[in-house]
Structure 1
């Protein structure tokens, strides 16, 4: 894996570690992440849906800066979901590695067996 790819994973891992730290905080008033954990899974899922929609709208609009901004928000909220279940991002990376080089059609068909 290239150094650049390691840095990309490092930032996601670093953000994930902060998410886990915030999850353990006592006071949700001082942390957006903690406030989401305090509100529960439905709120976290709602935020992912909201960010996914905003990412799609940005994609339709075609402004590269907006697409990047909204995609970062989506990644961030997915990291919160992973943190909710104590699932490290490495599990997602491993799944992507497993799928790499496999036709999307074939991969999806293998899940339906």
Structure 2
């Protein structure tokens, strides 16, 4: 990390705290060099309290710690962005964020998490994994599984129950991500294509 400029604000830098999964901004605090170093050492966010003139680790009394995932310095080297996994609500008033927002993850974000997991399976190919077995079976088998699961989803949509439609659609999405991964692609590539098509000036390919 580039050297942090603690001198601009008389020894302090603002630290923006963001949930690593939901990407919600949870709070803003200030760190001096000692608080920053303790945060690095403990992997729990520690601030400098401007009212009490002392260090304080978020959660030391409530148990609602902010577990550090990553720390980034901004372009001017005077503001930190800290990604965390929060334990419980962040605000002292009991809300998830200091702006009173609910810190709920959008379920769509899990598709990226699943994509990352499947890519890791593709890289490591652990024995006993169903995903590994799909990769080993080859492209034709993976494509066949996508077709089979898509057909199951169609059957449930026309003659089944909504819960079964969701179940079979989940199977279809999973096998599609496996297929995409085998081709060096990601589920986000499909999202980008849909985003392009959403433009009113988009025209279907010939």
The Cα RMSD (Å) is 2.1
Distance (whole Å) between structure 2 residues aligned to residue 70 and residue 26 of structure 1? 25
TM-score scaled to structure 2, two decimals?
Answer: 0.46
Match of 1:111 in 2: 205
For residue 89 of structure 1, report the CA deviation from its aligned partner: 1.8
Could you list the runs of 5+ residues in structure 1 that have no partner in the other structure? Answer: none
In the comparison of the two structures, how many residue pairs are matched? 103
Which of structures 1 and 2 has the bigger CA Rg?
Answer: 2
Say whether residues 1:15 and 2:114 are aligned partners: yes
Q: Greater share of helix residues, 1 or 2?
A: 1
Q: RCO greater where, 1 or 2, for CA within 8 Å and sep 6 or more?
A: 1
Q: Greater share of strand residues, 1 or 2?
A: 2
TM-score scaled to structure 1, two decimals?
Answer: 0.80
Distance (whole Å) between structure 1 residues aligned to residue 188 and residue 159 of structure 2? 32
**Matched residue of 1:53: which SS?**
helix
Could you list the runs of 5+ residues in structure 2 that have no partner in the other structure? Answer: 1-23, 25-104
**Matched residue of 2:124: which SS?**
coil
Runs (4+) off by over 4 Å: none
Q: How does 1:24-63 map onto structure 2 within 5 Å?
A: 24-28=123-127, 30-63=128-161
